[in-house]
Structure 1
């Protein structure tokens, strides 16, 4: 796996700042990769690091690197250091957390350039009810001259096996807390983190849910008064390529690099956990976070299923210079790009992992036609275009069993999706600035080596008439609306004066403080949605553990009402959490409401500091009898109010009025 030419000079420059063994540009071990097998352990050594795995469990018990005997948390039990896990349940049964332990060890390849080993666990009917009905093969790979190791897994549910749900699967690495205390997720998301002991009684105050605590007596006094919550460090899949931890003594970085999103569920904007206090770093493949039950795969009627998760790369680097976390972080980003550019890898040996030759590509150009904006087609600038399993328009965001392949179109709408696994797909797209989802009419069959050019595709977003008014910008997030500053007693200093200020704890409580005497009223033509539209329609506290529904108002003027014209209210929702949207026109007491979504959403994005979850679009035909000449009021009621976290994050609202032809 070579370094692409554009990165060679940059990689060499950073490598000059790093110690031997930090970047892959180092003398190879004179004996190559060595495999040592003992009764209970397997050790793989390439001269740069030693990876020790329990046998036959396949748990990472140790990583020896740069003079440190073990980067894993040595105070933890061996099966609580580096492991694959999943959460599953029988239909209607409770969730079961399972650290995946193999029962059989195999050597797949052993030579001086590469060692690949396998730890498998095979299901049989005697395990019904006690183990997830999957065959699981965990693989680990160490390459010569590589400062890290790869891991991937193959999950298989055979035809006729029992039904089950799988709520989560991932890899977790728990590092030494005495060394790894600095976390980095992005250029502007890095910080010294609390210690895991800071979450013990006497050092913190429990907040509204177990994951969030206020640090009252932390080991590091500089962190006193801050909130710690692992969900504050979530990340969209599209941005979640490298994250990890840095030790200052000695200066070492431990990084989790994900070179492709194809095996993650939910598409490019699905949010997942990354690193958090522990110190813990995660490779999330499948989860219900920010989506709820919609992204829990459910296996029924003995269906056959197989999927490869990974490989992901665990990269380590170090420096002998005065410790500067930016040096290690910048090197990790370069290595991440090398891994991305090398995808799909050529070295994994499972027959279920498809190489470049077994894959195909799709290209084309996406245009948008909205005659009320432009008579000509509009380039779908930066559109998200992807392939996922066949389904309805927009179904990709809830798809959770297959693979997905996404790209961004260029400014002219041209797109190219490469390295697509063989199989049948639909092509989906969505474009910031326009509501709704595009789906190509025909199923696309990918065969090895194919290069399918779809030509020009035209998306016609939902539209019946000209825009009378609009609130927000249709980009599937609530980021453009008003996000308040946090209560200073519950702040995370990382996000003060930060573009991601929505990641602060407790913002739901700020609504009642900003609107103490009544709910939000927004006046078209006078109000500014960046200042006057609160980012989330939440419940209102009314005493201890009691909450009230909220009703927002949109006021607007109509000079005339065309009795035979078509009026449409389009409401795009960026997230919903056990909520309901009731819409009434000029009559707050209308019963039933003129429109109701019914109960929608389990995203929990409000509690977990997400600015979006699953996308919903509702197109409401407005009867002219509901409208009046002069001032009109639309009432938006969210009546579900059992908790502070029930609510709606709006993306965009638009009222369309009659066209000239009406």
Structure 2
């Protein structure tokens, strides 16, 4: 009892010493949110104009967005004078992207349905087929224009699942958005299972783009991971190693690559760092980039690794996968479980200019997209705008007697919201949305733009053993103005997070 009383006294004493700091921190965010709510309430619209990209052509700034059909009922094109994107209709595959005099940056030697597409790896419970036997394309059966004016067009390719279908039990809505002055296209999908539908495993959902092999030879993943890459045919002439993805290059087109091992998993990275990656063509000097402005729709938390770009040249966006986790990631849907999730939007960005500047420009565009999240121009009731979301602000305090008898700031802690579960369950979650941030050196954190729902708050601190969970559910309510929640936690080493003073 004396020890417990001493701990409570120290925690209370800590609060008295730091109360002015906490008050100022609380007051600061109150002012921020009050200003944001006031701005939202006083304006007639919540729309923001997104930076269209530094490489947009001024001569095309007056070119309105157009929907074009050129006599082929199985093709539809959207064009803003900078990029023109052609889809198969009603399938909804991307079969052509025209940019800067290149008629198609995608591989024209491939069939139309093998250039830009969504796919899923799925199986029925107990299915013993190999993983590549379970990959199917997410093809649609209906096409419609969601909205169109001179500033923007959004198109939709949908499919409703029927019990007679032998394919994955999903309702599919693939969306593409092209905006005036934008040097790229936004894309997202709304996937849905209704209650009572058949049991299924969905281990992987992704977007794939296959670029012109004769043009794109230089790949960039990060500032220190970029290089000229081998060709796809170099893998064919190489020697397969322990698993299909790893190939020893024995007769490469470029002799400098002889003796290297090519493996797409060499270019994986943690999701928190996977914001932009892609390829550069030297002649003409053009870049093709996949920009992911938010991690809210990804799975397994911020440090889950996944694929990016690799030899092909191929550009991926992995929305769900069991890479580096195996079946510990919960991708099983049982007992007629309903599910609905918006994957994206992500931004396929194209730029041009000096090849030495394309990567830097792509990073700048990525930062622009991140700051613009959530987008206000998305026309789906399943995608909430900023004023329909909430925020959580708070501070984490750590007690670890192996380091210090006193309470410590949980500096640089990773703090996140995910669906309710056990301690650490966020690492196995593939069905819900997650929202993460990193605390400052005093353990203060701010998580913004949270979707409406009920969550648990999870955390861990680099260099400190243990995984933490706040024992009280946090509910984000819908509202006309932004709403926020304040929490102050004491995290006990290898224990549950608790309210300060308890």
Which band: TM-score by shorter chain? 0.7 to 0.9
Cα distance in 1 for residues equivalent to 2:462 and 2:445: 15
Q: Tell me by how many angstroms 1:332 deviates.
A: 0.0
Which residue pairs with 1:83 in the alignment?
117
Q: Tell me by how many angstroms 1:3 deviates.
A: 6.2
Q: Tell me by how many angstroms 1:2 deviates.
A: 4.1
Deviations 1:261-296 (A, max 9, x none): 000000000101000000000011000000000114
Residue 336 (1) aligns with residue 374 (2): no
Residue 192 (1) aligns with residue 228 (2): yes
Q: Tell which deviates more after alignment, 367-376 or 331-340.
A: 367-376
Cα distance in 2 for residues equivalent to 1:27 and 1:258: 28
Residue 433 (1) aligns with residue 463 (2): yes
Cα distance in 2 for residues equivalent to 1:462 and 1:152: 39
Task: Specify the SS of the correspondent of 2:406.
Answer: coil
Aligned length: 440
Task: Specify the SS of the correspondent of 1:137.
Answer: strand
**Residue 418 of structure 2 contacts residue 435 of structure 2 at CA under 8 Å; is this kept in 1?**
yes
Q: Structure 2 vs 1, CA of residues 450 and 346 (structure 1 numbering), >3 Å: closer, same or farther?
A: closer
Task: Specify the SS of the correspondent of 1:375.
Answer: strand
Which of 63, 69, 72 aligns to 2:106? It is 72
Q: Tell which deviates more after alignment, 449-458 or 285-294.
A: 449-458
Deviations 1:290-333 (A, max 9, x none): 000011411111111100000000000001x4x42xx0000000
Cα distance in 2 for residues equivalent to 1:176 and 1:435: 47
Which residue pairs with 2:241 in the alignment?
207
Q: Which has the higher helix share?
A: 2
Which residue pairs with 2:160 in the alignment?
122
Residue 259 (1) aligns with residue 297 (2): no
**Residue 330 of structure 2 contacts residue 429 of structure 2 at CA under 8 Å; is this kept in 1?**
no
Q: Structure 2 vs 1, CA of residues 163 and 144 (structure 1 numbering), >3 Å: closer, same or farther?
A: same
Task: Specify the SS of the correspondent of 1:190.
Answer: strand
Q: Tell me by how many angstroms 1:28 deviates.
A: 4.0
Structure 2 matches for 1:534-549, cutoff 5 A? none
Q: Higher RCO, 1 or 2 (CA under 8 Å, sep at least 6)?
A: 2
Deviations 1:510-544 (A, max 9, x none): xxxxxxxxxxxxxxxxxxxxxxxxxxxxxxxxxxx
TM-score normalised over the length of structure 1: 0.65
**Residue 296 of structure 2 contacts residue 433 of structure 2 at CA under 8 Å; is this kept in 1?**
yes
Task: Specify the SS of the correspondent of 2:164.
Answer: helix
Cα distance in 2 for residues equivalent to 1:318 and 1:31: 19
Deviations 1:172-213 (A, max 9, x none): 00000000010000000000001001111xx21111111011
Unaligned ranges ≥5, structure 1: 16-21, 464-662
Bigger radius of gyration: 1
**Residue 154 of structure 2 contacts residue 177 of structure 2 at CA under 8 Å; is this kept in 1?**
yes
Which residue pairs with 1:26 in the alignment?
58
Structure 2 matches for 1:30-69, cutoff 5 A? 30-37=62-69, 38-69=72-103
Q: Structure 2 vs 1, CA of residues 455 and 424 (structure 1 numbering), >3 Å: closer, same or farther?
A: closer
Cα distance in 1 for residues equivalent to 2:411 and 2:59: 45
Residue 443 (1) aligns with residue 479 (2): no
**Residue 125 of structure 2 contacts residue 199 of structure 2 at CA under 8 Å; is this kept in 1?**
yes
Task: Specify the SS of the correspondent of 1:336.
Answer: helix
Task: Specify the SS of the correspondent of 2:365.
Answer: helix
**Residue 467 of structure 2 contacts residue 494 of structure 2 at CA under 8 Å; is this kept in 1?**
no
Pairwise CA RMSD: 1.5
Deviations 1:466-502 (A, max 9, x none): xxxxxxxxxxxxxxxxxxxxxxxxxxxxxxxxxxxxx
Which of 346, 352, 356 aligns to 1:318? It is 352
Cα distance in 2 for residues equivalent to 1:302 and 1:204: 46
Deviations 1:92-134 (A, max 9, x none): 113511111110001001111001000011101111xx21001
Residue 165 (1) aligns with residue 201 (2): yes
Residue 277 (1) aligns with residue 311 (2): yes
Which of 104, 110, 113 aligns to 2:151? It is 113
Which residue pairs with 2:10 in the alignment?
none
Cα distance in 1 for residues equivalent to 2:247 and 2:167: 34
Q: Tell me by how many angstroms 1:27 deviates.
A: 4.4
Q: Tell me by how many angstroms 1:371 deviates.
A: 2.4
Which of 416, 419, 422 aligns to 1:392? It is 422
Structure 2 matches for 1:440-519, cutoff 5 A? 440-448=470-478, 449-462=481-494
Cα distance in 2 for residues equivalent to 1:25 and 1:3: 16
Which of 220, 238, 243 aligns to 2:254? It is 220
Structure 2 matches for 1:374-413, cutoff 5 A? 374-413=404-443
TM-score normalised over the length of structure 2: 0.86
Q: Tell me by how many angstroms 1:375 deviates.
A: 2.3
**Residue 287 of structure 1 contacts residue 296 of structure 1 at CA under 8 Å; is this kept in 2?**
no
